[in-house]
A and B are shown apart, each in its own frame.
Chain A
Amino acid sequence: DAGVIQSPRHEVTEMGQEVTLRCKPISGHDYLFWYRQTMMRGLELLIYFNNNVPIDDSGMPEDRFSAKMPNASFSTLKIQPSEPRDSAVYFCASSPSRAQQAQYFGPGTRLTVL
């Protein structure tokens, strides 16, 4: 079975540009999570969805970040405008709806903002 799919795997952009990261969760998983990982701050939860509905976006750093999940098989994380401090690895993860289930991570998108 395919795992969580993310694209692009690497993104290099200039400050001020819009960046869109994409994620396809594992089929049948009802929860989708977006994380950011840096050396300084570790793994941070940005936002998560249940059945395509955003449940908790308290980790989104500021209004420049937005996330959508238009259907059960696709989600986007958008940064507009991007800044150098946004440089990080962004992970998408999904989990089933049953209680106690773990999250399964995609390969990540390494974002560099120049």
Chain B
Amino acid sequence: QKEVEQNSGPLSVPEGAIASLNCTYSDRGSQSFFWYRQYSGKSPELIMSIYSNGDKEDGRFTAQLNKASQYVSLLIRDSQPSDSATYLCAVRYSSASKIIFGSGTRLSIRP
């Protein structure tokens, strides 16, 4: 069974520091990787997508992908209280159109 694993947290990070969120997946055939942010009571919101090995930067966010290690991460620089949310890692496997979601990591940015 294809799986996406995340540490549930909570991960507590001081304001201004770097938050590092990690995700592992089980299927080497995976092609597309996504990070969603979900505020309490709201729907998941796409913040990053990455398709090839290496880093992809967008503002304060950097996604990192290592297909050999089956590992994807999200770095948030200069963390702000507004970054406090649950972050969902999602993986699209090559054989399907659907996306498998991890259970999410709850991030708390303390002032």
Contact = CB atoms under 8 A, between A and B. Distances in A.
B101 A106 contact: no
User: Is chain B's interface secondary structure helix, strand, loop, or mixed overall?
Assistant: strand
A48 B99 CA distance: 11
B44, B51, B92, most chain A CB atoms within 10 A: B44
Interface string B92-106: 100011110111100
B97 A50 contact: yes
Q: Please report whether the interface of chain A is mostly helix, strand, loop or mixed according to DSSP.
A: strand
Contacts of B43: 91, 105-108
Nearest to A110: B41
Interface of A: 31, 33, 42-43, 45, 48, 50, 55-56, 91, 95, 99-108
A43 B46 contact: no
Instruction: Report, nearest first, the 10 A-B pairs whose CB atoms are least far apart.
Output: A105-B43, A100-B32, A42-B103, A43-B101, A102-B46, A105-B44, A108-B43, A102-B34, A102-B49, A107-B43
